[in-house]
Amino acid sequence: MRITAPRACALAAAALLATGLALGSAALAAPLRPAESLPDWTGVWQNKGPPTDTDLFDGGTSEPRGCAALNQPCRSHPPYRPEWEAKYLKNLAMARAATLPDPLTRCMPRGTPGNMRSPDTIEFVPRPERTWIFIENGSQARRIYTDGRGHRTGKDAFDNWTGDSVGRWEGDILVVETVGVKGEMMIDRTGAILSSQAKVSERIRRRDADTMEDVFVIDDPVALTGPWKVTRLYRKVNGPIFDYACAENPRNKIDASGRTLTLDTQGRVIDAR
């Protein structure tokens, strides 16, 4: 049977549509940004310290100012609804009694967004189709897809530690939206938590040669009365990201005299008890 030109075009269009449906929305997305045009985020980065200190996710509202969660009493001030403020106060009481079941002390992952305030090092790897964020503490990896896909749906849209992150580039700023995080997952050592309905928006950029910036706006209709804005800064450090096995406790080695050593990112002793 002879196929006319219009019919051939219709068949080709149908085949293209079928391919796109089979591969998902990414197949029909606009062309990926060329790798050579992506910003240079090479290096190893670490949380910069007060007022965006490492123990509280929201160092900007810490009380007292510049405090560290391991030196209690210390808290931040998320815009919690009353029932969620009560949950936070309960966690604070456990933290002050050294009984808070913090994931990091139990060798569990610190999920998004709390993993972005890890006290150890972070590496950003932008690629055209996705950006990887490698987090030394807990050996976590975030995947931020920039290939045009939307968030997962149906049976694939389950809650998990790092959530479901999609992004886009606005110049040299990576704009990220994360949903599907685990509910009531502790995001810092004071016991701050969010619900599974939280939406975490980020704007990540290299502020200067030695500083990365991540501006968060968290919307949670269950836990919060309004947007929670947090800015975290990361300074460039020398040295690699270490292989991290929480159960082996590589940052707290025992010396010959039986003292427990706390090491910095360069392996230098910063505390001995």
Summarised one tens digit per residue, pLDDT across range 25-84 is: 434 456 899 999 999 999 999 988 655 555 789 988 888 887 877 666 789 999 999 999
Cα-atom radius of gyration of the chain, to the nearest Å?
22
Determine how β-strand 228-237 pairs with β-strand 44-47. Answer: antiparallel
| Residue pair 169/152 in contact by the 8 Å Cβ criterion | no
Q: How many CA atoms are closer than 13 Å to the CA of 261, on its beta-carbon side? A: 14
Q: How far is CA 272 from the centre of its chain?
A: 31
Q: Which fold has domain 35-241?
A: Lipocalin (2.40.128)
| Count of residues in the chain | 273
Residue 186 clears pLDDT 90, i.e. is over it: yes
pTM, two decimal places: 0.80
CA dist list (Å): 235 to 106, 114, 144: 27, 18, 21
